Amino acid sequence: MNARTVDVLVVGAGLSGLSVARFLRNDRPDLSLLVMEKSDHPGGAILSHSEEGYLAEWGAHGFLDNCEESRSLIALAGLEQEVDKAPLDKFGRFICLHGKLNPVPQTPGKIIRSNLVPALAKLRILGEMWKKPLAGEPTVADWVRHRFGKALLPFADAVFTGTYAGDINRLVMDAVMPGLRALEQEHGSVLRGLLQKRKAGKKAGKPKGKGGLPAMTSFSTGMARLPQALAAGPPLSRDILYRTEVTRIIPGTGRWGVRTRQQDLRCRHLVLALPVNQTLALLDPVTAVSPPPLDCLPEARIATIALGFTDQAKIPFGFGYLAPEQEQRFALGALFSSHMFPGRAPQGHVLLEALVGGRRHPERLELDDDELVGRVCEDLRQLIDLPHDPCYARVMRPRAGIPQLEAGYPAMLGWRDQVLAAHPCLHVCGFGWQGIGINDMTKAARKVADDILAGTREETEETEVKGVYF
Ligand SMILES: Cc1cc2nc3c(=O)[nH]c(=O)nc-3n(C[C@H](O)[C@H](O)[C@H](O)COP(=O)(O)OP(=O)(O)OC[C@H]3O[C@@H](n4cnc5c(N)ncnc54)[C@H](O)[C@@H]3O)c2cc1C
């Protein structure tokens, strides 16, 4: 085969692939690098929608500013002046309980002290210190019930509805919160683990954090600005091939073969920066002798219903609300987008983005646009004073589903590590492999770039306690 050869070939120009490529380009401009993207634009699941003065999002609405890798990516993209921030200590979140929106205190400690949790339940939460670690692969619901009691279930439900659009009776704790699971296993209790960590930090003379909570981050023209800026600048733009779908990868001695409909290529390092299920499809020829423990991961799809109202709408000031399943509501929740990021609605108007569907209610996505808007408005009116019909409505149905880290997922990660150990110049990151949030993607991308730069792969993986982006 007389194919062109590059040092690094990245499959996928979503945020993961672009991040790997941009980090590498910055650190080793001499490496030859190509990014192949099957669609005609960068960004994958990240896409913004601007219409009639409203600015809404098909996918991600933002990410927390407490991740060094994401911050350095913003700097590499030259976007520091375009960042919009909504500090979490100014923008409260709400939870729908007993048919009403309640402000949620912003830290777990404050939730426990608040009157959202009954007195007896508070004692039960403290009892966590004496609960044995749960063996096996518990679901989030089983784990929370066992450690803290059932009073915290609606809060856990809200957290995983807001991030995974998932079902806490199916998501597994080791996959979605490995940091908390590690605290439980190392210290016998999460609370004790947190106290000991704090004590150890003080003893080591670690400077106290600045205090305050992180800020939700987006860009003045929407989230799509980040992948667009990463892809558009001179360092990368000439090295991205759009409308180029990789259909097959072929392992070889010291080189990988990559087949597209247009051409064959060879590379030394091959990076698959794709959602889990798309990675599995490409890995098929590599792993035929040792197939993955799961054929595919379930995915949760949502529709976003962007609604504009005049500012007579009495939307409580804050970030948005989430409704746990026990509330039996139509919408999973809504973001109060123009509170968080002013400028997302025309003068004198506000923008709300409601979320529908998710792992538990895929059937709702079958409804037509008019019915979805009608059902969402009916639901919202019971919670928020909306004196008139929306003056703007747009239903967005992203094709991307959110990978659900459910039973068997930890085994899947173990299998991936074995595959990577057998193929040192193969690298895997992307949606669902190292978590699902943007900060998870940029951290994993940085690690892939570092592995390529070092020519090695570290086996260890971080098990920090993650922030929640909703
Ligand atoms: C509805 C929704 C809401 C979200 N909200 C948030 C949020 O508020 N905050 C947050 O932090 N995260 C959020 N996320 C997650 C976030 O969007 C993802 O973490 C991130 O976009 C994943 O990027 P990626 O590059 O790994 O994958 P993708 O964005 O899926 O990119 C993969 C790319 O690979 C391309 N591709 C696929 N197969 C091939 C092939 N064979 N050959 C060539 N190209 C190929 C695809 O076209 C795509 O462009 C949300 C996700 C969704 C779906």
Q: pLDDT tens digits for 164-206?
A: 999 999 999 999 999 999 999 999 999 999 888 888 877 777 6
Q: Which of 270, 305, 441 to mutate to test the pocket of ligand 1 (most atoms within 8 A of CB)?
A: 441
Protein residue whose Cα sits closest to atom 14 of ligand 1: 60
Residue carrying structure tokens 């504009």: 308
Q: Distance of alpha carbon 102 from its chain centroid, rounded? A: 25
pLDDT score of 460: 42
pTM of this prediction? 0.93
> Do β-strands 33-36 and 4-11 pair in parallel, antiparallel, or remain unpaired?
parallel
Cα(14) to ligand 1 centroid in Å equals 6
Structure tokens at 460: 């260890």
Write the secondary structure of 143-179 as one string of H (helix), E (strand) and C (coil): HHHHHHCHHHHHHHHHHHHHHHCCCCCCCEHHHHCHH
Protein residue whose Cα sits closest to atom 31 of ligand 1: 14
The whole-angstrom separation of Cα 129 and Cα 147 is 8
Protein residue whose Cα sits closest to atom 15 of ligand 1: 437
Structure tokens at 266: 């060879």
Decide: residue 5, CB within 10 A, 0-12 exposed, 13-18 middle, 19+ buried: middle
Nearest atom within ligand 1 for CA of residue 245:
42
Dihedral angle, C-alpha 201, 202, 206, 207, nearest 10 °: 130
* Phi-psi domain of 139 (left: phi exceeds 0; alpha: psi -120 through 50; beta: other): beta
Q: pLDDT tens digits for 386-413?
A: 999 999 999 999 999 999 999 999 999 9
Q: Is 322 in the pocket of ligand 1 (CB under 6 A)?
A: no
pLDDT score of 235: 85
Q: Is 466 in the pocket of ligand 1 (CB under 6 A)?
A: no
Q: Is 20 in the pocket of ligand 1 (CB under 6 A)?
A: no
Domains of the chain, earliest start first: 4-46+224-295+405-454 (3.50.50.60), 48-90+302-397 (3.90.660.20), 110-203 (1.10.3110.10)
pLDDT score of 458: 47
The whole-angstrom separation of Cα 148 and Cα 126 is 8
Nearest atom within ligand 1 for CA of residue 431:
26
Give the chain's radius of gyration (CA, Å).
23
Q: Is 67 in the pocket of ligand 1 (CB under 6 A)?
A: no
Q: Is 467 in the pocket of ligand 1 (CB under 6 A)?
A: no
Nearest atom within ligand 1 for CA of residue 301:
1
The whole-angstrom separation of Cα 177 and Cα 465 is 7
Nearest atom within ligand 1 for CA of residue 400:
53
Encoded amino acid at 143, one letter: W
Q: Is 37 in the pocket of ligand 1 (CB under 6 A)?
A: yes
The whole-angstrom separation of Cα 366 and Cα 355 is 14
Among 106, 102, 129, smallest CA distance to 115 is for 102
Residue carrying structure tokens 């967005």: 396
Nearest atom within ligand 1 for CA of residue 402:
53
Q: Is 46 in the pocket of ligand 1 (CB under 6 A)?
A: yes
Strand blocks (E) in 245-314: 246-251, 256-260, 264-273, 299-300, 302-310
Q: Is 402 in the pocket of ligand 1 (CB under 6 A)?
A: yes
The whole-angstrom separation of Cα 158 and Cα 147 is 18
Evaluate whether 199 touches 193 at the Cβ level (below 8 Å). no
In tens digits, what is the pLDDT along the chain, a chain of 470 residues?
467 899 999 999 999 999 999 999 999 999 999 999 999 999 999 999 999 999 999 999 999 999 999 999 999 999 999 999 999 888 889 999 999 999 987 777 777 778 888 888 889 999 999 999 999 999 999 999 999 999 999 999 999 999 999 999 999 999 999 999 999 999 999 999 988 888 887 777 766 555 578 999 999 999 999 999 999 988 899 999 999 999 999 998 889 999 999 899 999 999 999 999 999 999 987 887 789 999 999 999 999 999 999 999 999 999 999 999 999 999 999 999 999 999 999 999 999 999 999 999 999 999 999 999 999 999 999 999 999 999 999 999 999 999 999 999 999 999 999 999 999 899 999 999 989 999 999 999 999 999 999 975 444 444 565 666 55
Protein residue whose Cα sits closest to atom 50 of ligand 1: 60
Distances from the Cα of 44 to the Cαs of 40, 197, 399, 441, in angstroms? 10, 38, 10, 13
Cα(315) to ligand 1 centroid in Å equals 30
- Find all residues with CB under 8 Å of 63, minimum gap 6, and list them: 70, 216, 217, 437, 438, 439, 469
